Amino acid sequence: MANFNKLAMSAELLSRQDLKVASSMLGLSKKLVYTPTGATVKVNKYNYNPEAVAHLQRVIESDSKGLAAAVKACRVTRVEIGNIELDACVSTDKQFVALQLLHFIDYTYQPISQVAFYDGEQAQLVASILD
């Protein structure tokens, strides 16, 4: 599991009113909490081949009306090592999801999409493609 402070989207995460940083283990580690439900937000990085970019971008760029169709059409397969990375922050109760796509360029992952935030039913829908 990745550290939320090391994500390209960390500034956007920390600026949200519905997320807070909580210290645990005597302040030695920090976790991100989705405050409406009190659920911990887990950070994962998934790798894909370039063919997956169009599907994942369609999900990220969809509005609330087109999201269900974009998720249903999203047929992507994770790979062990790929040059496309999807950073995903998902609350343990799946009521909050944040996504950002990155591309491996010049020996680092560079963002190629905006950060997309989902909550409630939309978050559950988007989380289904990450399982």
Q: Which domain holds residue 61?
A: 4-127
Is residue 105 exposed (0-12), middle (13-18) or buried (19+ Cβ within 10 Å)?
Answer: exposed
Tally of structural domains, the chain: 1
Q: Look at the chain and count its residues.
A: 131
Question: What pTM does this model have?
Answer: 0.91
> What does each of the 131 residues of the chain score in pLDDT, given as a tens digit?
568 888 999 999 999 999 999 987 677 788 999 999 999 999 999 999 999 999 999 999 999 899 999 999 998 999 999 899 999 999 999 999 999 999 999 899 999 999 999 999 999 999 999 98
